[in-house]
Chains A and B, each alone.
Chain A
Amino acid sequence: MKLRNTSAAVAAVALLALTATACGGGSDSGSNGDKITVGIKFDQPGLGLKTPDGKYVGFDVDVARYVAKELGYAEDKINFKQAPSAERENLIKNGDVKFIVASYSINDKRKKEVDFAGPYFLAHQDLLVRADDTSITKVEDLNSKKLCSVTGSTSAQNVRDKLAPKADLQQLGGYSECLTGLQNKRVDALTTDDSILAGYASQKEHQGKFKLAGLRMSDENYGIGLKKGDDELRGKINKALEKMVSDGTWEKLVKEHFGPSGYKYESAPKVQG
């Protein structure tokens, strides 16, 4: 008898939980009302990072804020949403976000699925090495080195297919795990876009420990991803980006976010109308 009462209680709780979640199903999508949802990275220092205060900081974040402002959205009307690399095209196609500013390189394969405004930044694949390491000066040096990158990333594929097929490449889940290896001298270099590396190198915990090798092994034009065929939005964003460069904001933001690492960034790329 006792057991039957228990099962009834469990069933009641189950029902409650289900209805509660069903009621909580409402959501705000890309351009609902007077708010705008923008995709950024949450875990890349210097570009897009969610801080312990729950705030968002980084170059990409500030670019997103500037563009949103030019589109007529005040800062408190912006809704930031995490855009993991593998999910970016989906987020745009489903209209979950209005646009994405998340170290998003323009390439032909992505262009088939989404449109890009910009570019607003030119990054290169580079290496992060320990500050006292001078043994890597050219790409060929890599073939005898231990490298680390993130599983399945473009940088990892570049190393394996083109740059240094003989290098010993370790692929891990995240950049922080690679940094642990780099710090402990298990790997010689962490490779990905120099903008991302600069973000890590200029963190206060890492200052003076790591440096960029400055090898410029590829060209990565960062664009702002948006829905395919939305030429009106693309035109507006491009105009905002041009204004950002001409009024000096671009220079200011780059200095602010990449300055401490001594990262020699390229000048602002020309927006392709």
Chain B
Amino acid sequence: MSSVLYDNPGPRAKRRNVLYTVGFLAVLAVLAWWVLSALADKGQLDADKWSPFVTDVRVWTTYLLPGLVETLKAAALSILIALPLGALLGIGRLSDHRWVRVPVGTVVEFFRAIPVLLLMMFASAVYAQFTPVSSDFRPLYAVVTGLVLYNASVIAEVVRAGVLSLPRGQGDAAVALGMRKGQTMLYVLLPQAVTVMLPALVSQLVVIVKDTALGGALLGFPELLSQNRQITANYGANTIATFTVIALIFIAVNFALTTLAGWLERRLRQGRKTAGVTESAVTKTGEAPAEAVSGA
């Protein structure tokens, strides 16, 4: 697309681009120098603040890796429960029956409107007061519950959009073949919609991984981000170093997931030409597909 927006640069345009590049580089360099020199000035780049992450393997084995495991566990459980639930809600919202469509729609809109943080805190309080769930699992349950409630309603919308993006003819043809509504959905519409939805679903997984971090500070869920308290308490308040390392781990995990999403999207787009499914919703309605969004 980008190449459509501008002509191939001629000699003057090339010179201008070089000028822009140099100017932009200068701005970036000045910014970086300012930040780094100030950090060094305040002793934040001192070796003893950063070296534990390289020299002391126990930082990883005692704090960071167990934290990462908790984060991934909560994320995996959440997506596994949210997927079928979200699919059900999405189909429910497409129902021909008003008494199904309206309540399901209300539930979806309700949970989409409330911050995940609030949902988690609420879930935690409910588990603490009304269920015998032991405190070893309560934070995990609360985090997963909050994430499932929110993400199931987001996935419901993704499913709905995916099904709606299919050409009308698909459903009509199924009806003409004498299929019942359930059969049409299960054998004709959903399998095709899945191909449209998959990249969006993987992006939603990134959101889930990031949102597990919300459960750390308030609920005492021992996920990756919350490990910074124990690390900084042990290594002389090296907060900036610790937050940087934790951020890099999150970025690595999520970057892997986004790469997977991109790969899936390319694969499915190639497959689509031969599968005979029409182009995505984008060109049909003149509307861009929804981005996965965090719901803290």
Cβ of A176: which chain B residues have Cβ within 8 Å of it?
228-229, 232-233, 237, 239
Cβ of B137: which chain A residues have Cβ within 8 Å of it?
25, 27
With A21-B77, A45-B233, A53-B62 given, is the CB distance from A84 to B220 under 8 Å?
yes
Which of A27, A44, A51, A173 makes the CB contact (< 8 A) with B136?
Answer: A27
**A205 near B230: Cβ-Cβ < 8 Å:** no
**B230 near A50: Cβ-Cβ < 8 Å:** yes
Cβ of A94: which chain B residues have Cβ within 8 Å of it?
128, 132, 134-135
With A29-B134, A42-B230 given, is the CB distance from A173 to B217 under 8 Å?
yes
**A52 near B191: Cβ-Cβ < 8 Å:** no
Closest residue to B198 on the A side, CB-wise?
A3
Cβ of B11: which chain A residues have Cβ within 8 Å of it?
none
Which of A43, A81, A91, A184 makes the CB contact (< 8 A) with B230?
Answer: A43
**B239 near A91: Cβ-Cβ < 8 Å:** no
Which of A21, A27, A53, A206 makes the CB contact (< 8 A) with B237?
Answer: A206
B169 to chain A, nearest CB (A): 21
Which of B48, B59, B236 makes the CB contact (< 8 A) with A52?
Answer: B59
**A49 near B134: Cβ-Cβ < 8 Å:** no
With A18-B80, A42-B230, A205-B235 given, is the CB distance from A53 to B58 under 8 Å?
yes
Which of A3, A183, A200 makes the CB contact (< 8 A) with B194?
Answer: A3
Task: Tell me the interface secondary structure of chain B in the complex.
Answer: helix
**Contacts of B203-233 to chain A: CB distance below 8 A:** 217-220, 222, 228-230, 232-233
At the interface, yes or no: A177 with Cβ under 8 Å from chain B? Answer: yes
**B58 near A44: Cβ-Cβ < 8 Å:** no
A192 to chain B, nearest CB (A): 13
Which residues of B pack against A, CB within 8 Å? 42-44, 48, 56, 58-59, 62-63, 76-77, 80, 83, 128, 132, 134-137, 191, 194-195, 217-220, 222, 228-230, 232-237, 239-240
Known: A29-B134, A94-B134, A96-B135. 16 other contacts (CB 8 A): A17-B76, A17-B77, A42-B230, A43-B229, A49-B234, A50-B62, A50-B230, A53-B62, A86-B218, A87-B135, A94-B128, A176-B232, A176-B237, A180-B239, A204-B236, A206-B237
